[in-house]
């Protein structure tokens, strides 16, 4: 916008002598001559300054408002533009949030690829990442139970490379032709467009039963992976099997991984449910707040590779997207780091219009015959055309940073100018020739293939339970308990008995006790015997407990400090200081958003603490922990039901609760039956010991307890 204005000014300015009109000169120039000063005033889209955008042009006589005039090109443009603001939302992954950042290669992978982005450690490659849910519409809530999209656009020197992944390493289906059926089944049902942002309905679970290939994936979707605490604390997976090709032309099959340096953390289900209503934009705000506060989220980038000649060495087909490559069979190799460090400037042009394609690979990276990837490669470009038009790659957010030159022409909204008299190849002028391999031209891997045409998959694709068992067996007890509760919740929302009865039979093929527990909860016949021998195998990297933070921290965690008149200023200042020093974000929650006075302070002065929020505007679910300083304030807090609920709910969500002095008694009172340890603050404000309410539940926020340790050590 500003460049257009400056350009416009340039024209007008040249009529008034100097091209560059600085503010001082501009003051001398009345609005009649140069109507626009460097974009400070509203204009029409055709650049004409507007003096009144609040009234339609109409006939008036000083007493009556007469008819509005069709001639009003300014009002018409404004309404036209409004009427055509919406574009089709994504057919899946409609709800998303994006940010900019960089990818830094830390170890060259030249042994397996020739791609510059994965071999040149001197590079820092700009990226844009969009996180998303799958099922809900563009305006649905962030914290629903769902898979999370994890799409990364690398603007490399050799063109854009898109990894269009999820936070779960496998998928519901093996063959992309099933995708429309899957999406129709998971999305709101055709007769009533219910439910929004949920898989808890007949059609999804009917589909899941009728496609046993979906078993492994729905076990992940029923785990805590599907209710992440933050986009910053979840893994990313390319899911499909791609290929890497090195300079010698050797191929390795590859899977891509993003491992969050903050560790993998989830909400608890009750919290996720409440946040969906209390703060539907929780994850979006969390990412933006962290970046605004300099707590840039980082992920280790890792690859798993299998040399082409070992393709058939596994009990599963390595091209099957419903299967992982267990780490003990195919180790991960960390070769880079992804960091997000810049929030978007405007949502629609960037996050809404960003468009990813699995078919966007750069030389050194290629596809595999993964039947899901093959269909994806067709679908993404196709869907962008209907969403953004054929020239969608000219939009700034989608435009490569390297030169684009070809003989593609025209189409709606084309704005790249390609000068010259030929737009075809070969041509007599040798204009815009292809690049040979040595010049960096992309060459598909010369794979030898043989076989017959048939609608079929290879035999190994027919096994659908081993890895679902491997996943469930590898979970900790409390993660398994959460899976059972999630399945009970989901199937409780299925009112067609055939759906939930058949699903409990499917669960018996994974784990009989799980199936029996869920069947009891949802009123299905209790399965008597396991459908399939459970080999009891486990694997690393499947439980969230395998992903502790690289270095325990409470940085970017949101901590509520609850006060009322008469709070203990030493405890308040002491704890607020160490929380801030540790990089966490303290939010003072008061009984009002007016001055709150410390113990003994003169209430007539205006010196009190101005809280960030008053308690009725917030909920414990929006914070990772709570601290309540002592003081005479506690008597008032003890009488406020919302505050007592805040304490009880925080405990129910297994969160750390800190308290000092009289507040210890309040917390103890509210939570009579648990073991409590509390911070005691000495008179000079140091925290002698620290403490948290530790629930009996296993889900202690280790990183947070460590964080309190940091608070203690840092006082
Ligand atoms: Fe997809 C969007 C991830 C299977 C067809 N998909 C989309 C997005 C993500 C994924 C993260 C949102 C991208 C963004 O933020 O704009 N999709 C996956 C993963 C899959 C997968 C990890 C399984 C491995 N998708 C899949 C299949 C098909 C599609 C099998 C079709 C055959 N996906 C699409 C799409 C979307 C899309 C319809 C809708 C919006 C878009 O492309 O840009 O083309």
Which of 592, 598, 599, 597 lies closest to 614 in space, CA to CA? 592
Ligand 1, pocket-test mutation among 88, 89, 90, 176, most atoms within 8 A of CB: 90
Ligand 1 close to Cβ of residue 127 (< 6 A): no
With tokens 């626009």, the residue in question is: 36
Residue 426 has pLDDT above 60, yes or no: yes
Residues annotated as catalytic are 93, 166
The answer to whether 522 and 498 have CB atoms below 8 angstroms apart is no
pLDDT of residue 657: 85
- According to DSSP, the residues that pair with 236 across neighbouring strands are 258
What's the chain's average pLDDT? 89
CATH of domain 96-394: 2.40.180.10
Measured by CA distance, the residue closest to atom 37 of ligand 1 is 92
CA–centroid distance, residue 91 to ligand 1 (Å)? 9
A 10 A CB-CB count for 312 gives 9
| CATH architecture observed for domain 554-714 | 3-Layer(aba) Sandwich (3.40)
Render pLDDT for 41-87 as a digit per residue (tens, 0 to 9): 999 999 999 999 999 999 999 999 999 999 999 999 999 999 999 99
pLDDT range class, residue 38, cuts 50, 70, 90: low
CATH class of 477-546: mainly alpha
Task: Tell me the C-alpha distance between 438 and 211, whole Å.
Answer: 46
Q: Do domains 96-394 and 477-546 have the same CATH topology?
A: no
> Does the pLDDT value for residue 680 go beyond 70?
no
The rounded Å distance from CA 144 to ligand 1 centre is 18
Q: Is the CB of 96 under 6 A from ligand 1?
A: yes
State whether the beta carbon of 132 lies less than 6 angstroms from ligand 1: yes
Confidence (pLDDT) at 552: 75
Q: Which of 467, 642, 447, 507 is nearest to 562 (CA)?
A: 642
Residue 24, token pair as written in the block: 């001082």
**Backbone φ, ψ for residue 453 (5° rounding):** -75, 125
Q: What are the φ/ψ torsions at residue 405 (nearest 5 degrees)? A: -145, 125
Nearest to residue 137, comparing CAs of 183, 85, 196, 181? Answer: 196
Closest residue (by CA) to atom 12 of ligand 1? Answer: 93
**CA gap 653, 151 in Å, rounded:** 30
Which atom, in ligand 1's list, is nearest to the CA of 173? 30
In this prediction, residues 415-429 reach a mean pLDDT of: 95
| Section 337-344 average pLDDT | 98
Proportion of the chain above pLDDT 90, given as a percent: 79
Closest CA to 109 of 273, 286, 291, 247: 247
- The pLDDT of residue 2 is above 60: no
- Nearest-atom number in ligand 1 for the CA of 130 is 15
* Pairing between β-strand 251-260 and β-strand 124-132 as defined by DSSP bridges: unpaired
Task: State phi, psi for 713 to the nearest 5 degrees.
Answer: -65, -30
Report which protein residue has its CA nearest ligand 1's atom 34. 380
CB of 164 sitting under 6 A from ligand 1: yes
Query: Ligand 1 atom closest to Cα of 238?
Result: 22
User: With contact defined as beta carbons under 8 Å apart, do 146 and 346 qualify?
Assistant: no
pLDDT at 604: 82
Q: Is 655 helix (H, G, I), strand (E, B) or coil?
A: coil
Q: 40 in helix, strand or coil?
A: coil
| pLDDT over threshold 70, residue 227 | yes
Span 579-605, pLDDT tens digits = 898 889 999 999 999 999 999 888 887
Least-confidence region, from 43-57, 226-240, 386-400, 639-653: 639-653
| pLDDT reading at 708 higher than 90 | no
Q: Measure Cα distances from 500 to 321, 510, 515 in Å.
A: 26, 16, 11
What's the CA gap between 363 and 384, in Å, rounded? 23
The angle formed by the CA atoms of residues 232, 235 and 240, to the nearest 5 degrees, is 140
Nearest residue to 706 via CA among 553, 595, 483, 555 = 553
pLDDT for 460-492, tens place per residue?
999 999 999 999 999 999 999 999 999 999 999
Element (H, E) at 334: strand 333-343
Strand partners, 97: 131
The answer to whether 171 and 255 are in contact (CB under 8 A) is no
Which residue(s) pair with 304 in the sheet? 255
Which of 522, 556, 487 lies closest to 340 in space, CA to CA? 556
Q: What are phi and psi of 482, to 5 degrees?
A: -70, -35
Cis peptide before 646 (omega within 30 of 0): no
**381 CB within 6 A, ligand 1:** no
Cβ(359) to ligand 1 under 6 A?
A: no
Measuring from atom 25 of ligand 1, which residue has the nearest CA?
A: 376
> Where do the structural domains in the chain lie, given as residue ranges?
3-83, 96-394, 477-546, 554-714
Cα 714 to Cα 701: distance, rounded to the nearest angstrom: 20
Percent with pLDDT over 70 in the chain: 88
Task: Kindly report which listed range (28-42, 390-404, 682-696) carries the lowest average pLDDT score.
Answer: 682-696
Does residue 30 register a pLDDT over 60? Answer: no
Torsion of CA 561, 564, 568, 571, to 10 degrees: 0
- Token pair 């041509």 is at which residue? 427
- Could you tell me if the CB of 147 is within 6 A of ligand 1? no
Q: pLDDT grade, residue 607 (50/70/90)?
A: confident
Q: Which residue's C-alpha comes closest to atom 7 of ligand 1?
A: 93
ipTM: 0.99
Burial of 364 (0-12, 13-18, 19+ CB in 10 A): buried
Q: Return the residue whose CA atom lies nearest to atom 19 of ligand 1.
A: 165
The 3-state secondary structure of 491-557, one letter per residue: HHCCCCHHHHHHHHHHHHCCCHHHHHHHHHHHCCCCCCCCCCCCCCCCCCCCCHHHCCCCCCCCCCC
Residue 152 near residue 127, CB atoms below 8 Å: yes
Question: Does 183 sit in the ligand 1 pocket, CB within 6 Å?
Answer: no
Asked whether 452 and 436 are in contact (CB, 8 A), the reply is no
Q: Is 388 close to ligand 1, i.e. is its CB under 6 Å away?
A: no
Of the candidates 42, 32, 28, 27, the one whose C-alpha atom is nearest the C-alpha of residue 12 is 32
* Nearest-CA residue for atom 35 of ligand 1: 380
Going by C-alpha positions, the residue among 527, 476, 523, 546 that lies closest to residue 697 is 476
As to burial, measured by CB atoms within 10 angstroms (0-12 exposed, 13-18 middle, 19+ buried), residue 6 is middle
- In the three-class reduction of DSSP (H, G, I as helix; E, B as strand; rest coil), residue 27 is classed as helix
Higher-scoring residue by pLDDT: 129, 18 = 129
550 band by pLDDT with thresholds 50, 70 and 90: confident
């Amino acid at each position: 916008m500003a460049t257009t204005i400056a350009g416009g000014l340039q024209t007008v300015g040249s009529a008034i002598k100097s091209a560059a009109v600085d503010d001082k000169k501009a003051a001398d120039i009345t609005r009649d001559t140069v109507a626009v000063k460097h974009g400070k005033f509203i204009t029409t889209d055709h650049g004409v300054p507007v003096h009144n955008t609040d009234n339609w042009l109409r006939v008036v006589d000083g007493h009556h408002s007469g008819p509005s005039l069709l001639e009003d090109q300014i009002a018409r443009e404004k309404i036209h533009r409004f009427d055509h603001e919406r574009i089709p939302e994504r057919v899946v992954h409609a709800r998303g949030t994006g940010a900019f950042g960089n990818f830094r290669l830390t170890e060259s992978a030249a042994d397996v690829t020739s791609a510059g982005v994965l071999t040149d450690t001197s590079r820092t490659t700009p990226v844009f990442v969009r996180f998303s849910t799958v099922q809900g519409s563009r305006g649905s809530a962030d914290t629903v139970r769902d898979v999370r999209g994890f799409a990364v656009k690398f603007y490399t020197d050799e063109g854009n490379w898109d990894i269009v992944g999820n936070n779960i390493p496998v998928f519901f289906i093996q063959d992309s032709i099933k995708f429309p059926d899957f999406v129709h089944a998971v999305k709101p049902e055709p007769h009533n467009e219910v439910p929004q942002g949920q898989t808890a309905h007949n059609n999804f679970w009917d589909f899941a039963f009728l496609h046993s290939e979906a078993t492994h994936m729905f076990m992940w979707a029923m785990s805590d992976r599907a209710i992440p605490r933050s986009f910053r604390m979840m893994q990313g997976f390319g899911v499909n099997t791609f290929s890497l090709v090195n300079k010698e032309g050797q191929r390795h099959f590859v899977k891509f991984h993003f491992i969050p340096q903050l560790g993998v953390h989830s909400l608890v289900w009750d919290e996720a449910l409440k946040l969906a209503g209390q703060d539907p934009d929780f994850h979006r705000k969390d990412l933006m707040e962290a970046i605004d506060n300099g707590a840039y989220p980082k992920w280790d980038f890792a690859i798993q590779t299998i040399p082409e000649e070992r393709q058939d060495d596994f009990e599963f087909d390595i091209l099957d997207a419903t299967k992982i490559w267990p780490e003990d069979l195919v180790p991960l190799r960390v070769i880079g780091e992804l960091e997000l460090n810049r929030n978007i400037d405007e949502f629609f042009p960037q996050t809404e219009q960003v468009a990813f394609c699995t078919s966007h690979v750069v030389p050194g990276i290629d596809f595999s015959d993964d039947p899901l990837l093959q269909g994806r490669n067709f679908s993404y470009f196709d869907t962008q055309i209907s969403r953004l038009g054929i020239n969608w790659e000219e939009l700034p957010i989608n435009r490569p940073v390297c030169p684009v030159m070809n003989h593609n022409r025209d189409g709606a909204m084309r704005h790249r100018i390609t000068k010259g008299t030929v737009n075809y190849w070969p041509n007599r002028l040798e204009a815009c020739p292809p690049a040979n391999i040595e010049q960096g031209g992309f060459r598909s891997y010369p794979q030898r293939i043989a076989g017959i045409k048939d609608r079929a998959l290879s035999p190994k694709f027919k096994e659908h339970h081993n890895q679902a068992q491997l996943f469930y067996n590898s979970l900790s007890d409390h993660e398994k308990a959460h899976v059972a509760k999630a399945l009970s919740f989901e199937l409780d929302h299925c009112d067609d008995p055939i759906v939930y009865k058949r699903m409990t039979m499917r669960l018996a093929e994974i784990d009989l006790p799980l199936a029996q527990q869920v069947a009891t909860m949802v009123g299905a016949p209790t399965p008597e015997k396991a459908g399939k021998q459970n080999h009891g195998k486990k694997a690393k990297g499947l439980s969230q407990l395998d992903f502790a933070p690289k270095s325990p921290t409470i940085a970017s965690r949101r901590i509520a400090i609850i006060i009322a008149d008469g709070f203990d200023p030493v405890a308040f200042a002491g704890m607020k200081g160490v929380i801030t020093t540790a990089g966490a974000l303290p939010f003072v929650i008061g009984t009002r958003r007016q001055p709150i006075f410390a113990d003994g302070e003169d209430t007539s002065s205006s010196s009190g603490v101005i809280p960030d929020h008053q308690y009725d505007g917030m909920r414990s679910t929006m914070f990772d922990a709570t601290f309540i300083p002592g003081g005479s304030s506690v008597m008032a807090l003890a009488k406020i039901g919302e505050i007592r609920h805040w304490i009880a709910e925080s405990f129910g969500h297994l969160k750390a609760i800190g308290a000092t002095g009289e507040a210890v008694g309040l917390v103890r009172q509210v939570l009579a039956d648990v073991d409590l340890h509390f911070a005691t603050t000495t008179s000079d404000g140091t925290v002698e010991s620290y403490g948290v309410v530790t629930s009996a539940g296993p889900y202690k926020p280790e990183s947070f307890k460590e964080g309190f340790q940091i608070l203690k050590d840092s006082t």
